Homo-oligomer: A and B are copies of this chain.
Amino acid sequence: MNNDSTGRIIAGVREWIAHAPPGARVPSSRALMAEYGASPVTVQKAMRALASLGLIESRPGVGTFVRSVRTTRPADYGWQTAVLGSPHARIAALSSTQRTVAPDAIALHSGYPARDLLPERLVRAAIARAARTDAAMTRSPATGLPDLQAWFATDLAALAPVGVTPPTARDVLILPGSQSGLSSIFRALVGPGHPLVIESPTYWGAILAAAQAGVVLVPIPSGPDGPDPDDLERAFAQSGARAVYAQPTFSNPTGAQWSTERGVAVLEVVRRHAAFLIEDDWAHDLAIDTDARPIAAHDDDGHVIYLRSLTKSVSPSLRVAALVARGPARDRIIADRAAESMYVSALLQSAALDVVTQPGWRGHLRGLRDQLRSRRDLMIDSLREHAPGAHVERPPLGGLNLWVRLPDGIDVERFVRDCESRGVIVAPGTEWFPAEPSGPHLRLNYSGPDPERFPEAARVIGAVLDEHA
């Protein structure tokens, strides 16, 4: 359709046909020329297009008629079943954290902060500025915009103790979100059928990416202080795994932060086993009581593969994350990314860099810290008052979530449904366990909308707890 009046005639006649019986006579060329103010050539072109679509048929010397249309039948894709076979992993298409819920519900299930916790003014201005730069019209290098690589490298290098050679811009690979990084790392450094040690509980997205990559998970328990280095030692020795995935800073779901000593001890075990520590620093910018202290800052031997995302602190629409890796592992990951997606939008990179280098960014993070603190405390206090059976082992030091232990014997899925029927949406803890859950848990996001409704939510949770007791 490279001619607009032809297109207009086609659309008009199509519309007419939709309401005409099969076999009806189509208006004459003359009538169409008059109706659309079009030339004979244009009308003829439209008629030919309609005929080639099988919508009309012309009977020479008689006229042009609407073709009889086969009635729509319900589609049957059954033939695909045998071709596709059974999936190598049962991957749930949607996590409970990604559900869309009724607008009047109290939503504590999502993994994202509410919009009023985002630097909206900075983001909008940054996008508008980026729209005027080269970034809007050009392709980014495969590893990312050099300035953004440098920013991530410098930010991590500032935390490197003396004697440790800090990463450089070249060690940084920009990603379209950290989920892509997890998939690439698991594919490139572990591989299908190979073991990967993982904290339990841990981030459901990592469990999902591991299932997609076909890696075999080897869970080790991880509490408020992180995993026991002896457990890690044993898991490496018994499984032969050469990599461990962890969130040492404000772990999702527990909010735990490893002490520097614990981090260094874990890194020691990793080194001794010539293994990789995949450090997912997802909540770097979501600190409350302490600051993020990445273990990656202590490594210059290429043992730590470091992931950091800006999606949750800048905007879910500026999906940009960084991966820091050195040595052949870096090359292996870059090759996987090239095959997977080639490069990340320069527009998103440029806008994200703009946001985090504005003078207002530091101020925003300070405000965010205060907001997260008061929301976290309000939710803890509300639960304490209205749902004393919901136990929080240790308040999270940062991040977005409260990890709540329910009394033994509670059916979590039924519990979640009962809360939902009263307008409170919570996430069942089940999704954060790589194997059977160690007990019934809920994850409550205190960074969602409507903190003033936390007491109301806690009352509902308390009431449902009483019913399930």
Distance to closest chain B CB from A71 (angstroms): 9
Does A326 lie within 8 Å of B137, measured CB to CB?
Answer: no
Indicate which residue in B73, B137, B177, B291 contacts A115 across the interface (CB closer than 8 Å). B137
Binary contact track A157-187/B, C-beta < 8 Å → 1, others 0: 0111111010000000000110110010001
User: CB-CB < 8 A to A334: which residues of B?
Assistant: 93
Measured CB to CB, the closest approach of chain B to A442, in angstroms, equals: 22
Q: Does A59 contact B (CB under 8 A)?
A: no
Known: A94-B142, A112-B139. A183 touches B317 (CB 8 A): no
Would you list which residues of chain A between 340 and 388 have a CB under 8 Å from chain B?
A: 340-348, 362, 365-366, 369
Interface segment among A74-82, A405-413, A424-432, A443-451: the answer is A74-82
Max chain B C-beta neighbours (<10 A), residue from A158, A211, A366: A158
Contact with B along A300-328 (1 / 0, CB 8 A): 11100000000000011111000000111
Q: In the assembled complex, which residues on chain B have CB atoms less than 8 Å from the CB atom of A269? A: none
What residues on B are CB-neighbors of A328 within 8 Å? Answer: 77, 80-81, 84
**List of B residues within 8 angstroms of A137 by Cβ:** 115, 118, 120, 123-124, 315-317
**A464: interface (CB < 8 Å):** no
Interface stretch (choices A126-134, A216-224, A454-462):
A126-134
> Is the Cβ of B142 less than 8 Å from the Cβ of A362?
no
| Given known contacts A136-B123, A162-B55, A329-B84, A338 and B70 CB-to-CB distance under 8 angstroms | no
A98 within 8 A of B: yes
**CB neighbours of A301 from chain B (8 A):** 75-77, 79
Q: Which of A55, A115, A163, A318 has the most CB of B within 10 A?
A: A163
The residue in chain B whose Cβ has the minimal distance to the Cβ of A212 is B339
A335 close to B87 (CB less than 8 A): yes
Task: Knowing A131-B127, A291-B2, A301-B77, say if A315 contacts B366 (CB, 8 Å).
Answer: no
Given contacts A93-B142, A163-B69, whether A291 and B123 have CB atoms under 8 Å apart is no
Report the Cα distance A93→B161, complex, angstroms. Answer: 33
Q: A67 near B: Cβ within 8 Å?
A: yes
Q: How large is the interface on A (under 10, 10 to 19, 20 to 34, 35 or more residues)?
A: 35 or more
A351 CB to nearest chain B CB (Å): 8
Cβ-closest chain B residue relative to A366? B2
User: Judging by beta carbons under 8 Å apart, are A208 and B339 in contact?
Assistant: yes
How far in angstroms is the closest Cβ of chain B from A161? 4
Complex contact B91–A336 (CB within 8 A):
yes
- A161 contacts B53, CB within 8 Å? yes
Q: How many copies does the complex hold?
A: 2
A469: chain B residues at CB < 8 Å are none
Q: Which residues of B contact A112 (CB under 8 A)?
A: 139
Interface 0/1 of A209-253, CB less than 8 Å to B: 101100000000000000000000000000000100000000000
Instruction: Tell me the bound Cα distance from A1 to B363 in angstroms.
Output: 12
Query: For the complex, what is the distance from the CA of A429 to the CA of B266, rounded to whole Å?
Result: 49
The reply to whether the CB of A135 lies closer than 8 angstroms to some CB of chain B is yes
A27 within 8 A of B: no
Q: Is the CB of A127 within 8 A of B120?
A: no
Contact B338 A93 (CB under 8 A): yes
Distance of A318 Cα from B179 Cα, bound (Å): 20
Q: Does A34 contact B (CB under 8 A)?
A: no
| A463 CB within 8 Å of chain B | no
Considering the complex, give the chain B residue whose CB is closest to the CB of A119: B137
Mask, A138-153, CB within 8 Å of B = 1, is 1111100000000000
Complex contacts, A140 vs chain B, CB 8 Å: 317
Interface residues in A8-42 (C-beta closer than 8 Å to B): none
Contacts A75-B302, A84-B329 given; indicate if A211 touches B136 (C-beta within 8 A).
Answer: no
Question: Is A72 an interface residue, CB under 8 A from the partner?
Answer: yes
Q: How far is the CB of A117 from chain B (nearest CB, A)?
A: 11
Q: Give 8 closest A-B pairs by Cβ, nearest first.
A: A77-B327, A54-B162, A212-B339, A127-B131, A139-B316, A70-B163, A54-B161, A317-B347
